[in-house]
């Protein structure tokens, strides 16, 4: 990959940027957000390529099998304890985020990868915010008084909100919960 561009995808609470509670989402199922993230992260210009997902072990374990098996995804998990051998749908386990990014952005794996998404959890998000290769953050901002115990880092000092012609930024609602999609891009000097 000539120019590595990383993208974060996250849904968090407007009130405190909480994105998980006891290894689950803090809010009820949001159909529109689910469809949005699947469409965003599985679409490719070149259909022969896949998109890489990099995520922490707990996020991997919380993820449903119906999505783990998506043939358009190439999944790498950061973990110091998990072994990839014999784990269905998991391409690789690496001990830190840098190693995971290197793995999917350098040959031979990079030949089959179009985009690289950082899919959580807290530690990977935290490290990635400071990585200049992180260009974009796709946020679903959730409104409501839900309780969280894992939080997305502060990022608006390094990123600015931008509009995107294909992004519907109007207020959405599912299951009685209001939410909005946002795109943020890293400030360029
Ligand atoms: N709302 C959202 O958009 C969103 C997005 C993603 C995930 N989630 C939710 O977030 C929760 C999980 O997030 P979390 O922060 O608690 O856990 P997590 O980061 O997914 O998993 C933590 C574990 O992953 C490994 N790990 C993570 N980052 C690492 C790194 N940089 N280097 C080495 N190992 C690393 C470690 O595993 P070992 O102990 O094996 O070393 C660590 O104990 C789940 O409930 C998931 O559903 C929500």
Which of the four pLDDT bands, split at 50, 70 and 90, describes residue 69?
very high
CA of 75 to the centre of ligand 1 (A): 14
Could you identify the atom of ligand 1 that is nearest to the CA of residue 37? 3
pTM: predicted TM-score of the whole model, two decimal places: 0.96
Cβ of 77 less than 6 Å from ligand 1: no
Spatial separation of the C-alpha atoms in residues 93 and 55, rounded to whole Å:
10
Mean pLDDT over 142-169 rounds to 96
Return the structure tokens found at 106: 């350098």
What pLDDT score was predicted for residue 188? 85
Of the chain, the percentage scoring pLDDT greater than 90 comes to: 94
CA nearest ligand 1 atom 32, residue: 96
Question: Which one is predicted more confidently, 164 or 84?
Answer: 164
What pLDDT score was predicted for residue 189? 67
Spatial separation of the C-alpha atoms in residues 123 and 85, rounded to whole Å:
24
Cβ of 25 less than 6 Å from ligand 1: yes
Reduced 3-state DSSP string for the chain: CCCCCEEEEEEEECCCCEEEECCECCCCCCHHHHHHHHHHHHCCCCCCCEEEEEEEHHHHHHCCHHHHCCCCEEEEEECCCCCCCCCCCCCEEECCHHHHHHHHHCCCHHHHEEEEEECCCHHHHHHHHCCCCEEEEEEEEEECCCCCCEECCCCCCCEEEECCCCCCCCCEEECCEEEEEEEEEECCC
CA of 125 to the centre of ligand 1 (A): 9
Instruction: Specify whether the CB–CB gap between 30 and 178 falls below 8 A.
Output: no
Pocket test for ligand 1, best of 75, 120, 155 (most atoms within 8 A of CB): 120
Task: Write the pLDDT tens digit of every residue in 17-52.
Answer: 999 999 999 999 999 999 999 999 999 999 999 999
Spatial separation of the C-alpha atoms in residues 14 and 9, rounded to whole Å:
15
Residue 2 pLDDT exceeds 90: no
Residue 95 pLDDT exceeds 90: yes
What pLDDT score was predicted for residue 116? 98
Task: Write the pLDDT tens digit of every residue in 114-137.
Answer: 999 999 999 999 999 999 999 999
Average pLDDT taken over every residue of the chain: 96
């Amino acid at each position: 990959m000539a120019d590595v561009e990383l993208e974060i995808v996250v849904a968090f609470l407007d009130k405190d940027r909480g994105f998980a509670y006891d290894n689950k989402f803090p809010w009820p199922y949001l159909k529109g957000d689910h469809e949005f993230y699947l469409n965003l992260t599985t679409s490719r210009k070149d259909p022969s390529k896949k998109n890489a997902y990099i995520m922490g072990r707990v996020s991997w374990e919380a993820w449903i099998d119906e999505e783990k098996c998506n043939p358009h995804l190439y999944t790498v998990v950061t973990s110091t304890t998990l072994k990839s051998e014999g784990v269905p749908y998991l391409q690789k386990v690496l001990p830190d985020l840098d190693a995971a990014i290197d793995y999917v952005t350098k040959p031979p794996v990079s030949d089959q990868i179009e985009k690289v998404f950082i899919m959580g959890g807290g530690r990977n998000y935290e490290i990635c915010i400071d990585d200049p290769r992180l260009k974009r953050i796709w946020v679903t901002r959730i409104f409501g008084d839900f309780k969280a115990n894992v939080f997305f880092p502060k990022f608006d000092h390094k990123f600015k909100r931008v509009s995107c012609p294909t992004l519907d930024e109007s207020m959405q609602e599912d299951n009685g919960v209001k939410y909005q999609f946002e795109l943020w891009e890293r400030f360029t000097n």
